[in-house]
Chain A
Amino acid sequence: MKAVRAGNARRRRRHQNIGLLYILPWLIGFLCLQLYPFLSSLYYSFTQYNILNAPIWIGLENFRNIFTTDANFGVSVKATFLYVAFSLPLRLISALAVALLLNLKIRGVGLFRTAFYIPSLLGGSVAVAVVWRYLFGGEGPVNLALGLLGAGPVNWLADQNITIFTISLLSVWQFGASMVIFLAGLKNIPVVYYEAARVEGARPVRMFFSITLPLIYRVLMYNFIMEFIRSFQDFTAAFLITKGGPMNSTYLFALKLYEDAFQSFRIGYASAESWLLFAVLVVFTILIFRAGNLWEFYTGGGKK
């Protein structure tokens, strides 16, 4: 009897290990197309490498050069931080604000949702970059409209203090996907909470901060982290609309990486830069998680 049971258990265990066979595609893909490239780029970051010749180990030289001799590095970091600092909050706030409005049980939600979602469907496509450069060009429709309102033409794509915002605006315009996620989160909140609050005489603002925000907290974190990681790597708009200019004011980090790696073929150097980007993203993501936990801790009344 005991032997039979042990046999069954073994058979079940073997049966369970078939699972490994099912995940095998991912396992191979992960090892060969993700982990191996990931680690090899760490190795390249300590080398001098131009693809044609074998990599030469140079230790921390690349990292030292990035911080000491590369004048474009600081410029690029500044542009990237400005871009993220401007586009990310606006994008998330617009997404949440529109989601809140659409959640008011209004008529025609589907129609509105379509209008707000379509821009994000087009994503970082070249087509959208074309339109943006046309709209914000010197004599483009945006400036003509401003002219009608009596405002002078703005150098949307040529003034180094403004271009980064023009590019960010394109990212803000595509808040639709985040909005749909927020909307789904809002739909999950039981209506009774609001009814109870209304009975107690709570005002909408109070309800937002005491009910809505804590309950969509996880969705908010998800959107924040995903959008954060994504926007640090944005490439297409800056590459096509302003080509990083004027005066490198839109020289986003992804552009610099692209030029260093695939135009100058300084593979080692660019790998070092890509690892810096990775390190920054990891640190920020951890910080965001930490800050998030703290916030949850306080709103939970101090209970763990």
Chain B
Amino acid sequence: MTSYRKVRRGAGRAVVYVLLTLASLIMIYPLLWMFFGAFKSNSELFGSMTLLPEVWDFTGFVKGWAGSGFFDYGDYFLNTFRMTIPCIVLGIASSILVAYGFTRFQFVGKKLFFTLMIATMLLPGTTMIIPRYILFNQIGWLDTYWPFIMPMAFATVAFNNFMLITFFRDLPESLDEAATIDGANSWQILTRIYVPLSKTSIVTIGLFIFIGNWNNFFEPLIYISSQEKFTLPLALQMTFNQAQVEWNRALAMSFCAVVPLVLLFLFAQKYFIEGIATTGIKE
């Protein structure tokens, strides 16, 4: 009886492994095609079912990287960093301040403000983009990176604030009290106690901002118009959206655009998983 059960359970296990392996292969398969396709010649890309290229061809990378005009992908990578790094630094700094304010102080209107902040998580970005475009047009921020940096500098991504709040909330209040008795003011408590203790959450927020900017296509499409300032997604679109698509170039550059993300994930997996998990679980 027991052995029969054990066998059945073992068989169940095996089924689970087979299922998971098959499913994860399907998940990864498109990316494998992207990777190997980048090394194929245009003629081999279609009409052949073999995943590996017959001849490893690097022209996709060389010609793709060179771009078509005055700018190459080196410029686009630099632009992407130029846009993303201020977003990360300012986004983290402002979120820390705001989360600290919401966690440790009982000020007037706190409840209302907090509710409003959570409500903005449900606010569709699509409703905001038109009036923001007009606003930025009036201020003269179109075709600059300010439309990306300023919302970060002013902590408008409620998701980030919220993640830090859930973390700060769990820090024991006795820490503050002890520091207060030692004569520390609230700024010192923040910078000397809270920030060092929440390194993990801070890194996670930084990663999320990085990825959000790296993939962002809709907003750059609207705000950025000169090729000189194109970020990677816009450049990719340019390589890709042509009457005669040079598929190996498009795939090679897509691959280049994706690699930093995948590497980042592999090295910082812990931060991602924890970060996503906490936002969904805690209230």
Indicate if B254 sits at the interface (CB-CB under 8 A): yes
Contacting chain A: which of B11-19, B65-73, B195-203?
A: B11-19
A235 lies within 8 A of chain B by Cβ:
yes
**How many angstroms between the C-alpha atoms of A24 and B76 in the bound complex?**
34
Q: Is B101's CB under 8 angstroms from A23's CB? A: yes
Contacts of B161 in A (CB 8 A): 26
**CB of B78 closer than 8 Å to a CB of A:** no
Interface residues of B in 194-244 (CB under 8 A from A): 211, 214-215, 217-218, 221-222, 232-233, 236-237, 240-241
Query: From B190, which residue of chain A is reached at the shortest CB distance?
Result: A22
Which residues of the partner chain A approach B110 to less than 8 Å between Cβ atoms? 19
Instruction: Tell me which of A85-93, A183-191, A290-298 binds B.
Output: A183-191
Binary per-residue interface labels of chain A (73-105) against chain B in the complex, 1 for a CB within 8 Å, 0 otherwise: 000000000000000000000000010011010
> Which residue, of B101, B109, B137, has the highest number of chain A Cβ atoms within 10 A?
B101
Collect the chain A residues with CB atoms within 8 Å of residue B277's CB.
180-181, 183-184
The answer on a CB contact under 8 Å between A38 and B131 is: yes
- Bound CA span A102–B154, Å: 39
**Minimum CB–CB distance for A136 against chain B, Å:** 10
A58 proximal to B (CB < 8 A): no
Kindly supply a per-residue 1/0 record for chain A positions 180-224, scoring 1 wherever the CB is within 8 Å of any chain B CB and 0 otherwise: 110111001000000000000000000000000000001100110
Q: How far is B120's CA from A29's CA once the two chains are assembled, in angstroms?
A: 12
With A20-B108, A141-B49, A267-B130 known as contacts, the answer to whether A30 contacts B250 (CB < 8 A) is no
Taking a contact as CB atoms under 8 Å apart, the answer to whether A33 and B132 are in contact is yes
CB distance from A45 to the nearest CB of B (A): 9
Q: How many residues in B have their beta carbons less than 8 Å from beta carbons of A?
A: 95
Question: Quick check: is A46 within 8 A (CB to CB) of the other chain?
Answer: no
Number of A-B residue pairs, CB cutoff 8 Å, is: 279
Q: Decide yes or no whether A271 CB sits under 8 A from chain B.
A: yes
Residues of chain A touching chain B, judged by Cβ–Cβ distance below 8 Å, are 15-30, 32-34, 36-38, 40-41, 44, 51, 98, 101-102, 104, 106, 110-119, 121-132, 134-135, 137, 139-141, 144-145, 148, 173, 177, 180-181, 183-185, 188, 218-219, 222-223, 225, 229, 232-233, 235-236, 240, 253-254, 257-258, 261-262, 267, 270-271, 274-275, 277-278, 281, 285
Given contacts A127-B258, A240-B237, 6 further A-B contacts (CB under 8 A): A128-B258, A131-B31, A139-B46, A218-B283, A267-B130, A278-B124
Some 7 contacts from A to B, beta carbons below 8 A apart, are A16-B106, A18-B105, A24-B97, A38-B123, A51-B134, A101-B16, A131-B254
- Which B residues are closer than 8 A to A by beta carbons? 13, 16-17, 19-20, 23-25, 27-28, 30-31, 33-34, 37, 45-49, 94, 97-98, 100-102, 104-110, 113, 116-117, 120, 122-135, 137, 150-151, 153-156, 161, 186, 211, 214-215, 217-218, 221-222, 232-233, 236-237, 240-241, 247, 250-251, 253-255, 257-258, 261-262, 265-266, 269, 272-273, 276-281, 283
